[in-house]
Amino acid sequence: MAELTWPRHALSIGVFEFRRSVRALWQDKARLTLMAFGMVIPSLLTLAVTIVFADAIRNIEEFAVPDMVRGMVALFWLFGVYLIAQRVVSARPRINAESLMLTTVSARTVAFGLLVAEMLRILAYAGFPILVLTGVSVFLLGSPVSLILLPVAAVLFAATVVVAGSAVGYAVALLVATSPFVARHKTILGTAATLLAMGGYFLFLYPQISGLSQAALAWVPIGWLADLAVVGTPFVGSSLRAVGVIAGSAALLIVGGLLVERETAVFWFIEPVSPDTEGSVSEQTAEKENLRPATRDSLAAAVTPLVVPRFVSTPVQRVAEWALMRTRRDPNRLMFLLIPVFAIGSPLVSTAVQSGSIGALGAPLTAVALPWLVGSLFAMNPLGDEGAVLPVTLTAVSGDHYVRGLIVPGLVFGLPIILLVTGLAGLVSPYTIGEQLGLVILSGYLTVVAVTISPAIGMAFPRFSAISVGQSRDVLPPRMTAVAVHAVLVLLPGALLAALLVAPRVARTVLAGVFGFVPTIVLELLNSSPDGIGILSTAAGAFRAVGENILAIGLDQLQIIGGGATLIGGILCSYILYQNAVHRFNRYVPL
């Protein structure tokens, strides 16, 4: 039985964990900026729209909340549950300072404390948008009751998402901890689950793809939060549903809370099975060195079924196997890749779907984005990934071998997959055979460039300490700067090459805009001289001329000269950065 004061202690843990999160975030300015943008910009946009259309909003006439809105709420809720579950499984299944906490308070107190902390994080993130919406509802729609009900709906949404997501997450974590099969294949199973969840999400988000509308999810009771949120406004919901969702949420919180308590009480006190030995025990708790099978090539066995080809030298093979094993055993480090995928990929796909050009976009997107992804997998933080072993590695292997070892996994395992996928994407695209073949070759070229340049970038911007609280201390993702530099070096030239191949006219227009007309417009706006004379005006004229000259270039010429220069630039860049990585490794002095 938990101590009598457990709710107070759980709240205390939640607040303390939340404060730690804030402090950790404050120290990581890149993440802070990213999160601030993600939070402030949508709110400001909403605010701007409401100000512009204030009169129209005031005069909205009553109409019933459509099923589409309820379905949308349910869809976001389900996606939120997936995100929280994924977070619990991959990053934070255990509390920090576990031995302290579990000998100080009950498991129930810790579990509820973690739930409170997670809820506070969500509310902190969503606080500003909720405030804006509440303001709009109260002042423009004339609904004073929204002052209470809209935040209540938001809190219920956050609380139920956290509790349901945690219940699912701990169930999965428990499965990983008890089933050797699941533990061994958690990366592949996790990837499959992610693809399934994301696929389901996009099917409903973009009805154009599947014909499934969000309205199809209106039956999910959590979507009735929409009915609660609009009480008092001109949007008319169902009172019965509004009351029902409060009762339903309460029931979900109680049942989910109990489930989380049960799961954590088991999960935190069992010894997780080892992913390496069927039915064996974890490395930390077994304390028996002789538990591990002393096979001579245990490193190769650890990455099976993948096999690093034997034609590379042994040091290169070992570094490659190590990079593969690290990626496989610690996929949490790669969560950072989801940020650009969502930030750039989501609007791109959304636009393509809505304009009906998904087929035309799919193949070039695959040819450019997949090489970047594979290039980021193995070597975006090689020195930091070595951790305490770095001095040993530096003295054990040459820079040449080390860098080649980091490149091998991407080339051996990434390249064939990318060629195949791009080829398949080309088959369902509207492009000619020649263009399809060109895209396949481009994807191969970009893969070689992406994996070759990543070690140098990763070494130039290493990260040696784990980020952020609430995540496992072992999670050591690369620096955002390294990710950004790598993305810019691969995605921009890659996009240009793909555009030159399948849409040269678009490429020419974009180039003229970027290098000519956009600077012209900016300079002309900055020019305060009324008669249009001055340095800025002269510069604007020069840029306009550049833009016009680019537009005047023939498409064939642009493809051959522009494409050729970019291709050669990529090869040169790869060579220079490869040499730079070798040099950096050979000269690196650990602090």
By the rule CB under 8 A, 326 interacts with other proteins: no
By the rule CB under 8 A, 342 interacts with other proteins: no
> Distance between CA atoms of 330 and 466, rounded to whole angstroms?
13
> Distance between CA atoms of 89 and 169, rounded to whole angstroms?
5
For residues 23 to 62, the per-residue mask of contacts with other proteins, x marking binding by CB under 8 A and - elsewhere, is xx--------------------------------------
Q: Could you tell me if 428 and 359 are in contact, meaning their C-beta atoms sit under 8 angstroms apart?
A: yes
By the rule CB under 8 A, 474 interacts with other proteins: no
Q: Could you tell me if 497 and 563 are in contact, meaning their C-beta atoms sit under 8 angstroms apart?
A: yes
Closer CB to other proteins, residue 25 or residue 228?
25
For residues 216 to 255, the per-residue mask of contacts with other proteins, x marking binding by CB under 8 A and - elsewhere, is ----------------------------------------
Closer CB to other proteins, residue 99 or residue 395?
99
Binding-site member from 62, 97, 395, 434 for other proteins (CB under 8 A): 97
Smallest separation, CB 11 to other proteins (Å) = 11
Smallest separation, CB 289 to other proteins (Å) = 6
Closer CB to other proteins, residue 263 or residue 435?
263
CA distances from 524 to 511, 518, 532, 548 (A): 19, 10, 8, 16
The one-character DSSP state at 91 is T
CA distances from 490 to 405, 412, 537, 564 (A): 21, 19, 34, 16
Smallest separation, CB 188 to other proteins (Å) = 24
With residues binned 3-state (H G I as helix, E B as strand, rest as coil), the percentages for the chain, rounded to 5, are 80, 0, 20
By the rule CB under 8 A, 96 interacts with other proteins: yes
Binding-site member from 291, 299, 360, 546 for other proteins (CB under 8 A): 291
Letter string b/e over residues 519-530, b meaning 16 or more CB atoms within 10 A of that residue's CB: bbeebbeebeee
By the rule CB under 8 A, 294 interacts with other proteins: no
Smallest separation, CB 272 to other proteins (Å) = 11
Closer CB to other proteins, residue 157 or residue 268?
268
Compute φ and ψ for 272, nearest 5 degrees. -65, 145
Give the range of 196-204, 265-273, 310-318, 552-560 binding other proteins by CB under 8 A. Answer: 265-273
Contacts of 505 (CB under 8 A, 6+ apart): 555
Give the range of 62-70, 264-272, 439-447, 482-490 binding other proteins by CB under 8 A. Answer: 264-272
> Distance between CA atoms of 109 and 34, rounded to whole angstroms?
32
Smallest separation, CB 7 to other proteins (Å) = 13
By the rule CB under 8 A, 16 interacts with other proteins: yes
Binding-site member from 91, 281, 312, 344 for other proteins (CB under 8 A): 281
Closer CB to other proteins, residue 12 or residue 579?
12
Give the range of 183-191, 216-224, 273-281, 296-304 binding other proteins by CB under 8 A. Answer: 273-281
Q: Could you tell me if 473 and 94 are in contact, meaning their C-beta atoms sit under 8 angstroms apart?
A: no
Smallest separation, CB 261 to other proteins (Å) = 13
Binding-site member from 29, 37, 98, 529 for other proteins (CB under 8 A): 98
Binding-site member from 12, 178, 472, 509 for other proteins (CB under 8 A): 12
Q: Could you tell me if 173 and 260 are in contact, meaning their C-beta atoms sit under 8 angstroms apart?
A: no
Closer CB to other proteins, residue 82 or residue 170?
170
How many residues line the site for other proteins (CB under 8 A)?
Answer: 38
Give the range of 96-104, 161-169, 317-325, 482-490 binding other proteins by CB under 8 A. Answer: 96-104
Compute φ and ψ for 236, nearest 5 degrees. -100, 120
Closer CB to other proteins, residue 97 or residue 589?
97
By the rule CB under 8 A, 591 interacts with other proteins: no
Binding-site member from 63, 288, 530, 591 for other proteins (CB under 8 A): 288
Smallest separation, CB 26 to other proteins (Å) = 9
Q: Could you tell me if 443 and 467 are in contact, meaning their C-beta atoms sit under 8 angstroms apart?
A: no
Give the up-direction half-sphere exposure of residue 433: CA atoms within 13 A in the CB hemisphere: 0
Give the range of 1-9, 64-72, 126-134, 403-411 binding other proteins by CB under 8 A. Answer: 1-9
Give the range of 207-215, 233-241, 275-283, 297-305 binding other proteins by CB under 8 A. Answer: 275-283
> Distance between CA atoms of 45 and 38, rounded to whole angstroms?
11
Count Cβ atoms within 10 A of the Cβ of residue 292 and give its class: 0-12 exposed, 13-18 middle, 19 or more buried: middle
> Distance between CA atoms of 170 and 176, rounded to whole angstroms?
10
Binding-site member from 239, 285, 481, 557 for other proteins (CB under 8 A): 285
What is the DSSP annotation of 137-157?
Answer: IIIIS--TTHHHHHHHHHHHH
Binding-site member from 269, 311, 388, 530 for other proteins (CB under 8 A): 269
| 470 Ramachandran zone, left/alpha/beta (phi>0; psi -120 to 50) | left
Q: Which of residues 101-130 bind other proteins (CB under 8 A)?
A: 101-107, 109
Count Cβ atoms within 10 A of the Cβ of residue 392 and give its class: 0-12 exposed, 13-18 middle, 19 or more buried: exposed
Question: Which residue type, as a one-letter code, is found at position 316?
Answer: V
SS3 of 431, please? coil
Contacts of 216 (CB under 8 A, 6+ apart): 71, 204
Closer CB to other proteins, residue 12 or residue 350?
12
**Largest CA-CA distance found in the chain, in angstroms, rounded:** 86
Omega of the bond leading into 590 within 30 degrees of 0 (cis): no
User: Residue numbers of the site for other proteins (CB under 8 A)?
Assistant: 1-3, 5, 9, 12-13, 16, 19-20, 23-24, 96-107, 109, 269-271, 279-281, 285-289, 291, 469
